[in-house]
Structure 1
Amino acid sequence: MVAQWAYKFRFYPTPTQKRQLAIEFGHARFVWNWALETRTKAYQEHSKSLNYSGLSRKLTALKQTECPWLGEATASCPTQKLRDQDTAFKHFFAGRAKYPRFKKRHQTQSVRYQLDQRHVEKNFNAESQRLKLPKLGALKLKWSRRMTGIPKMVTVSKDPAGRYFVSLVCEIEILPLPTRKNVIGVDVGVKDVVITSEGYKSGAPKYTYQYARQLKQAQRRLSKKRKGSYRRRRQQQRVARIHARIADSRRDFLHQQSSKLINENPVICLEDLNIKGMLRNRHLSKAVADCGLFELRRQMEYKAAWYGREVLIVDRWAPTSKACSECGTIHESMPLKVREWVCPDCTTRHDRDINAAINVLRLGTVGSAGTDKARGAVKTPRAVA
């Protein structure tokens, strides 16, 4: 299977490169905000919709008249921002995203460079670990893994913590994993993020709670800094570093769990949970957000599409937790505090999460066979680039 594989490396710019990147980020942010304001006013005042072509002509005229300083940045970076905004509006009209918002200075900044494929070998070489970009020169990257393929676009980004990253997307051929015959059911939760029908429990690292004390102290110091001061900006970066450490740790844990499940099992049955609804519970919202359940499902779906695996999604209304996996008896209620229970009909002792995983497996296999569509719905996994 040919798929788009993204590589992300840490980037350590020189002082000269930092100054040039500040210009690139600022100009790209200006073009995005200008284009968004132009689109909005054109629709509100004249009921006219602008696209990439119309805005590109307006941007050229803007460079020649009011804003000649836009020529200080690389020509392709503002153009790519117009393409990004065009894509954002397509997602908005399709109902997949909200209305695009204006970019702020202290949020994540990014610019995208287009590599000339005629001279790409002069600017990019994965073997010798060389990457050159216009007006930046050679970049010092932390090549944490070996690359395959030739990228067409290079994205340079800066997060609120002050870290610089380079992202490259290449088209590579992914070979399917060896075939296996086992099928498992997976239940997800707060106490253990991943529980399988075979009895495996991943545990829950709870990174937000691990860094809660550091985050509390940093935020308290931030609240006492004067707004607009340099010290407040430095303290904001300290708070952002803690949040970045939490997010990186959680993402690494989820990648390990999703890769383990995909590598060991050709068919995985997963429950279709309402994550947004769970986040509205003020007693569990923090714990649910710390587990990253939606990100876990997203990783499993695109990895399954890459490696020839299959993810079967079970109906969210199926009584997986309060149904006995041995005799099928469904109990009226099963509070979250009940972790183990005994079935009154068949006297089988159940672990709540493992029992739910077994029921997910049963419903997923029944739904995939097409004999009981009401109790086990199947969705086709799609690749995520």
Structure 2
Amino acid sequence: MVTQRAYKFRFYPTPTQKRQLTIEFGHTRFVWNWALETRTKAYKEHGESLNNLNLSRQLTELKKTECSWLSEATAGCHIQKLRDQDTAFKHFFAGRTKYPRFKTRHQAQSVRYQLDQRHVEKNFNAKSQRLKLPKLGALKLKWSRRIGGIPKMVTVSKDPAGRYFASMACEVEIAALPTRKNAVGVDVGIKEVVITSEGYKSGAPKYTYHSARQLRMAQRRLSKKKKGSNRRRKQQQRVARIHARIADSRRDFLHQQSSKLINENPVICLEDLNIKGMLRNSRLSKAVADCGLYELRRQMEYKAQWYGREVLIVDRWAPTSKACSECGTIHESMPLKVREWVCPDCTTRHDRDINAAINVLNFGTAGSAGTDKARGAVKTPRAVA
């Protein structure tokens, strides 16, 4: 299968490159804010909708008159930022996001460079680990993996923790994994992030919980720093580094679990959970957020598409936790504190999570999720003495 695959590498700039990147970030941020203000005024005052072509002409005139200092940055980066804003407005009009907002220097910064495909071999070579960008020169990257293909764009970003990254997307061909005949049901939770119908339990690392004391002390010190001072800025980076370490650890754990499931199973059944609703629970929201359940599903879906696997989504209203996987009896209620229970009809002793994973598998493979055929796999609800 031929698809776009993204690569992200840690980038260690020299002092000269840091200064130039500061200019690039500042100029592209100015272009974004100027373009957003121009678009908004044009629509409110004249009912006119501008696009990146109209704004590009105005930006050229702006460089010649009022803002000649914009020539210090790469001109192609300004055009890419205008295109980014076009994309943001398309998402807004489609109802996927809110109205684009102004950017500040306290947020994560990014700038995108377009590689000249006529001379791309001079500036990019994955084998010799060489990447050159306009006005930056050769970049010192941590080439943590091999790249297949040649990128057309390179995005250089700086996160709130002060780390620099270079990201690129290449068109690569991914071979499908060997076919197998088994299927697995996957239940997700807080105590165990991944539970399969075969009895596998991944555990829950709880990265936020284990870093809570360190994070609490760092945030307390931050609250005592004077706003606008250099010490406050440095302390903000210390807090951001703790959050970045937690996020990186969680993402690595989820990649391991999703890759394991995709490699071992050709068909995977998942439950369609209401993650936003779970996050509204004041007692469980922190633990739910620490598990990254939506990110796990997202990774499994795109990896399944890459490697020729299939992910089946089960209706969220299916009684996966309350139904007996042996005889189909449904309990009227099943509180979270009940981790093991005995079926009153067939006297089978169930582990709550494994039983739910088996039910997810049964519902997912019975037919379309949520149909009468899938719901027919269980009996009519009855009270449990």
Bin for the TM-score computed over the shorter chain: over 0.9
Instruction: Report the equivalent of 2:176.
Output: 176
TM-score (norm 1): 0.96
Distance, in Å, in 1 between the alignment partners of 2:97 and 2:345 is 48
Structure 2 gaps of 5+ residues are 377-385
1:88-167 matches, within 5 Å, as 88-167=88-167
TM-fit CA distance, 1:61: 1.5
TM-fit CA distance, 1:351: 0.6
1:357 equivalent in alignment to 2:357: yes
SS at the partner of 2:367?
helix
1:268-283 matches, within 5 Å, as 268-283=268-283
Instruction: Report the equivalent of 2:381.
Output: none
TM-fit CA distance, 1:372: 4.0
Residues 171-195 of structure 1 show CA distances to partners (whole Å, capped at 9, x for unaligned) of 0000100000000000000001100
The aligned amino acid for 2:331 is: H
Distance 1:339 1:155, change over 3 A: same
Distance, in Å, in 2 between the alignment partners of 1:47 and 1:330 is 59
Structure 1 gaps of 5+ residues are 377-385
Distance, in Å, in 1 between the alignment partners of 2:98 and 2:178 is 41
SS at the partner of 1:178?
coil
2:24–2:111: 8 Å Cα contact kept in structure 1?
yes
TM-fit CA distance, 1:15: 0.4
1:326-345 matches, within 5 Å, as 326-345=326-345
Instruction: Report the equivalent of 2:217.
Output: 217
1:10-29 matches, within 5 Å, as 10-29=10-29
1:310 equivalent in alignment to 2:323: no
Distance 1:232 1:69, change over 3 A: same
Distance 1:369 1:90, change over 3 A: closer
Residues 225-275 of structure 1 show CA distances to partners (whole Å, capped at 9, x for unaligned) of 000000000000000000000000000000000000000000000000010
Distance 1:158 1:369, change over 3 A: closer
Distance, in Å, in 2 between the alignment partners of 1:375 and 1:114 is 52
Distance, in Å, in 1 between the alignment partners of 2:7 and 2:33 is 28
Distance 1:230 1:301, change over 3 A: same
Instruction: Report the equivalent of 2:262.
Output: 262
Distance, in Å, in 1 between the alignment partners of 2:108 and 2:375 is 43
TM-fit CA distance, 1:146: 1.3
1:367–1:375: 8 Å Cα contact kept in structure 2?
no
> Percent identity of the aligned residues?
87
Instruction: Report the equivalent of 2:348.
Output: 348
Distance, in Å, in 2 between the alignment partners of 1:305 and 1:96 is 23
The aligned amino acid for 1:315 is: D
1:324 equivalent in alignment to 2:324: yes
TM-fit CA distance, 1:44: 2.0
Distance, in Å, in 2 between the alignment partners of 1:318 and 1:60 is 58
SS at the partner of 2:62?
helix
The aligned amino acid for 1:121 is: E
Distance, in Å, in 1 between the alignment partners of 2:318 and 2:369 is 17
1:132–1:139: 8 Å Cα contact kept in structure 2?
yes
1:154–1:166: 8 Å Cα contact kept in structure 2?
yes
The aligned amino acid for 2:197 is: S
1:207 equivalent in alignment to 2:207: yes
2:195–2:357: 8 Å Cα contact kept in structure 1?
yes
Distance, in Å, in 1 between the alignment partners of 2:369 and 2:299 is 25
Q: Which segment drifts farther, 142-151 or 155-164?
A: 142-151
Distance, in Å, in 2 between the alignment partners of 1:93 and 1:373 is 39
2:363–2:374: 8 Å Cα contact kept in structure 1?
no
TM-fit CA distance, 1:47: 2.1
Q: Which segment drifts farther, 61-70 or 111-120?
A: 61-70
Residues 121-178 of structure 1 show CA distances to partners (whole Å, capped at 9, x for unaligned) of 1001111111100000011111111111101000000000000000011000001000
Distance, in Å, in 2 between the alignment partners of 1:371 and 1:193 is 27
The aligned amino acid for 2:151 is: P
SS at the partner of 2:191?
coil
The aligned amino acid for 2:335 is: P
Instruction: Report the equivalent of 1:381.
Output: none
Distance 1:249 1:37, change over 3 A: same
1:73-92 matches, within 5 Å, as 73-92=73-92
Residues 4-45 of structure 1 show CA distances to partners (whole Å, capped at 9, x for unaligned) of 111111000000000000000000111111111111222222
TM-score (norm 2): 0.96
TM-fit CA distance, 1:46: 2.1
TM-fit CA distance, 1:60: 1.3
1:3–1:172: 8 Å Cα contact kept in structure 2?
yes
The aligned amino acid for 1:86 is: D
Distance, in Å, in 2 between the alignment partners of 1:135 and 1:309 is 44
SS at the partner of 2:33?
helix
Instruction: Report the equivalent of 1:284.
Output: 284
Distance, in Å, in 2 between the alignment partners of 1:236 and 1:371 is 51
Distance 1:285 1:118, change over 3 A: same
